[in-house]
Amino acid sequence: MIIFGTKGYLYQLAILTLVCAQCGNPAAHTLRKRVTKFTLFFVPLFPVSTKYTTQCTFCGAEQKVTGEQAEQLQAQALGGGQGGQGYRQQSQQQPYQS
Determine if 78 is a binding residue for Zn ion (CB under 5 A). Answer: no
Give every CB contact of residue 82 below 8 A, 6+ residues apart in sequence. none
Residue 23 binding Zn ion, by CB under 5 A: yes
Identify the residue among 40, 45, 48, 59 touching Zn ion (CB under 5 A).
59
Measure the CA–CA gap between 25 and 19, rounded to whole angstroms: 5
Residue 21 within binding range of Zn ion, rule CB under 5 A: no
73 near Zn ion (CB under 5 A)? no
Euclidean distance between CA atoms 77 and 31, whole angstroms: 10
Cα–Cα distance for residue pair 72/93, rounded to 1 Å: 20
29 binds Zn ion (CB under 5 A): no
Q: Which residue number, 23 or 43, has a Cβ lying nearer to Zn ion?
A: 23
Binding site for Zn ion (CB under 5 A): 20, 22-23, 56, 58-59, 61
